[in-house]
Amino acid sequence: MMAEASTPRKTTKIPAWKKLHDTVQDANTLRQEAVSAQHDHLITEIETSDGPLATTLRAVYDGDELGKFQETLDTRIKSHDREIERMCNYHYQGFIDSIRELQQVSGDAAKLKDEISGVDSELQKSCDPLLAKGDELVKSRKIQKNITAAIENLSMCLPVLELYGKLQEQMKNRRFYPALKTLEQLEHTYLPRVISHWFSQTMSEAIPKLREKIKEASMSELKDFLESIRKHSEKIGEVAMTHAAEQNNMDPTIVKKKLKKRRAPPPPNPFSGEVEAMPEVVREDSLEGEEELSAQDLVDFSPVYRCLHIYSVLGDKEKFETYYRQQRWKQARLSLQPPAAMHESADAYRKYFHDIVGFFVVEDHILHTSQGLVNRAYMDELWEKAVEKIVATLRSTAAKLVNQNHWNAQKSCKVSNLMLEIKKLIVLFCHTLKGYGFSVGRLLELLLEMRDRYSEILSEQWVDIFNDIFREDNYTPICCNDEEEFSLIMSQLPLNDAELQQSPYPKVLPYSQFVPSIYNQVKEYINACLKFSADLHLSHTEIDDMIRKSANQLLTKTLGNCLSNLIKTPRLSLIQLIQISINMNYLERSCEHLEEYISSITGAEKDSVHIARLHGTSMFKDARNDAEQHIYQQLNLKIDEFLELANYNWMLAESSGHASGYLMDLVAFLQSTFMSFTNLPEKVAKTACMSACQHIAGTMMGFLLDNDIRQLTLGSLQQFNLDLMQCEQFAASEPVPGSNDGTLQMAFADLRQLLDLFLNWDWSLYLADYGKQQSKYLRVQRLVAISLLEKLNNADKKKNNLFASLKRNERDKKKLVETVLKQLKGLENGTTPQV
């Protein structure tokens, strides 16, 4: 291009700048035309638009040609002004004509005005009466409207006022639940209709206060109800337990307190001045008129229902339930609190049980008649707490009954009867509450514990009974003079004996009266234990086991201790001990009949493997052995009394030729005594006889070896030998059956060999056979022989001192004695004796 520019053509050509200028001019023209067209369009919109011009004006001000637009707008205004002027000029003549016509009309209008004023004056005169009537009519219409409005308002207000009056009347009559319903109706239905009236506000402000008043009043009624059921709880429980007794075939009189009728005392005896004691009369009709009453008959439950409904409507049901349960638990704790000295009276137990039963009967009624005030879970929890307290209370009172410091027969009998009555009350208590759905397992377990305590009390009571039997018995065999007496004894203790049955009257039984008495008292004890086991719903086997356990306790501990104390009594004679030993044999045999008796009254099978056996047999055996030992001891003591009368002259020159008097009396006593051993077992009689012989032999040996005796003569030994011969004769006479086998004589063998040795002066044989089993004097002990020889030697020495000259044989004898002594003493050193 630069080349073309540098080489210009010669042809004529328009310059470039001129072309550019023309192009710019054309663009400006087009732009101005477009702006003008836009301004015309905007002005047209302004002229024709009936709505807001905000959008159009915004378009004007948003553009860049505001001045140009104003020029265009001014040009348009001027154009319109010229148009208006042209039109005015065109209609000017018509305007002038119109003015003229208007002036003419103005004159006519003034004339018409005057006429109208005249007509108006006339019309005012004629309408004045009508206007007065119209005013009156308006006033009447206004009055009528007010009356109608008043009637309408009164029609709305009167039901409200009547309902409020009804509410006040219900509050006055303490009909709180209907009053609450009325209050709800007044608040939600009637008061909103008269909200514009001043009294509605007053009523609205009074409604919360009335609600609180209703709550307080219903709570006051509830408190009165709680006080009432607390007062009637005992009676409710008594009626409930009476019904339960009838349903369970129990004696209903268990429940009732024995009320005594009051009578005037009789006049005093005119002669003695004493007043005769009146018999106690028990009222049996005191509760007849009330037996059929139920809890709702004795107590009005409506207050608790009303209070529950009221609190439910007011939205405080949970608060009411909490309060009710708290108050009832407080009352339950009062009912569970035992009366003072409850363990001393059955009536105190009755009151205690009646109160508790009454409490739970009321709660059960509330459970089934109210909606959610109490539920089964609450009742079960309350019962568990109550059972724990009841069990602890009964266990404590039972312990107080047992742990008495001093017992006597009358007191013990009273306590056992009280325990039996308490047991019946507990059983009936369990039946009653079980009928209301409560679990009584723990109470039944407590009865088993109380049974053991009852057995302890009975055992204490039977201690006095047994001791009375022992005290009153004469310890002689029973004598039956006729068949009636014999049948009576056999009915008391059926120990059949064919030989005894066939023997003629009078019949003498081997045992004394205390055997049938003990047997019958053990049966009475068993019957007393059976009474406690009644109504416990135990099987025959369980009852049998319980009875046998109690009977074993009575036989082994109570009766066993009583027999042991009896046997150890110092006042018992030998004959009484012998009779006791005989009695033990028959009491031992009676245990089999006791076994049969227990099985018969309990209904258990006698041969059942589960049945425990009575331990009385072993106890009676032990008692018999104890009695036998005391027989031996008593016999020996009696023998000692005779032996203490022995008065030997150990310096006697020659014997009297007959046995000592004390020994003859002793033998006579033994013979008579062993005659009473006929009813004892042969072994016992033989043992007693052997014991007596051994005791006599030992005592007589003691006489010879007494250290206080320093000297003795052969004459005294000969006298002693006569006494020994008497003893040997007694032993050989078979004092008891079966004792003729020579065993009794063996008791005196030591004495016999010793006296034979000295009286026969057979020292050469003794020394020769010393230590040999075939020795004739095997039982003679060396030291015993030395002791007697020394005493003989001492007697000889004394004689030598008395007499200066001795006979030759005396000197030889003295020398022989010294030789034998020397040889006996030499045996101790192991030297061989010189015969």
- Cα-based torsion angle of the residue sequence 706, 707, 713, 717 in order, rounded to the nearest 10 degrees: 20
Residues with Cβ within 8 Å of residue 325, at least 6 apart in sequence: 374, 378
Q: Is 288 within 8 Å of 217 (Cβ atoms)?
A: no
Q: Count the neighbouring beta carbons within 10 Å of the beta carbon of residue 803.
A: 10
Greatest mean pLDDT range, 59-73, 171-185, 330-344? 330-344
Question: How sure is the predictor about 274, in pLDDT bands with cuts at 50, 70 and 90?
Answer: very low
pLDDT exceeds cutoff 80 at 501: no
Q: Is 533 within 8 Å of 451 (Cβ atoms)?
A: yes
Q: Give the helix/strand (H/E) hosting 479.
A: strand 479-480
Question: How sure is the predictor about 14, in pLDDT bands with cuts at 50, 70 and 90?
Answer: low
Residues with Cβ within 8 Å of residue 529, at least 6 apart in sequence: 451, 454, 455, 458, 546, 547, 550, 551
Question: How sure is the predictor about 140, in pLDDT bands with cuts at 50, 70 and 90?
Answer: very high
Helix axes 682-705, 616-643, angle to 10 degrees: 30
What pLDDT does 410 receive? 59
Taking alpha carbons only, the member of 233, 450, 442, 443 closest to residue 333 is 233
The whole-angstrom separation of Cα 366 and Cα 372 is 9
pLDDT digits (tens, 9 = 90+) for 699-710: 999 988 888 888
What pLDDT does 264 receive? 43
Residues with Cβ within 8 Å of residue 482, at least 6 apart in sequence: 505
CA separation, residue 590 to residues 515, 520, 527, 544 (Å): 9, 10, 17, 18
Q: What is the mean pLDDT of residues 352-368?
A: 88
What pLDDT does 633 receive? 85
Q: Is 590 within 8 Å of 514 (Cβ atoms)?
A: no
The whole-angstrom separation of Cα 315 and Cα 228 is 27
**What's the sign of the alpha-carbon dihedral 168, 169, 172, 177?**
negative
CA separation, residue 103 to residues 82, 91, 94, 478 (Å): 31, 19, 14, 177
The whole-angstrom separation of Cα 82 and Cα 461 is 153
Exposed/middle/buried for residue 531 (C-beta within 10 Å: 0-12, 13-18, 19+): middle
The whole-angstrom separation of Cα 550 and Cα 558 is 11
pLDDT exceeds cutoff 80 at 799: no
What pLDDT does 4 receive? 40
The whole-angstrom separation of Cα 415 and Cα 462 is 13
Q: Where do we find the tokens 């009975």?
A: 458
The whole-angstrom separation of Cα 789 and Cα 787 is 6
What pLDDT does 810 receive? 62
Q: Is 645 within 8 Å of 712 (Cβ atoms)?
A: no
The whole-angstrom separation of Cα 670 and Cα 730 is 9
φ/ψ (deg, to 5) at 283: -80, 125
pLDDT digits (tens, 9 = 90+) for 281-324: 444 444 444 445 566 677 788 888 888 888 888 788 888 888 88
pLDDT, the chain, mean:
80
Provide the b/e sequence for 588-608 (b: ≥16 CB within 10 Å).
bebbeebbebbbeebebeeee
The whole-angstrom separation of Cα 398 and Cα 396 is 5
Length, in residues, of the chain: 835
What pLDDT does 261 receive? 41
The whole-angstrom separation of Cα 279 and Cα 784 is 81
pLDDT digits (tens, 9 = 90+) for 449-460: 888 888 888 888
Percent helix, strand, coil in the chain, to 5, is 75, 0, 25
Q: Is 687 within 8 Å of 636 (Cβ atoms)?
A: no
pLDDT digits (tens, 9 = 90+) for 217-236: 878 888 888 888 888 888 88
The whole-angstrom separation of Cα 104 and Cα 693 is 194
Instruction: Please provide the DSSP assignment of 725-788 as one string.
Output: HHHHHHHHT-SSTT--SSHHHHTTHHHHHHHHHHHHT-HHHHHHSTT-TT-TTTT--HHHHHHH
The whole-angstrom separation of Cα 758 and Cα 786 is 11
φ/ψ (deg, to 5) at 507: -95, 135
The whole-angstrom separation of Cα 550 and Cα 591 is 14
Q: Is 777 within 8 Å of 768 (Cβ atoms)?
A: no
The whole-angstrom separation of Cα 726 and Cα 720 is 10
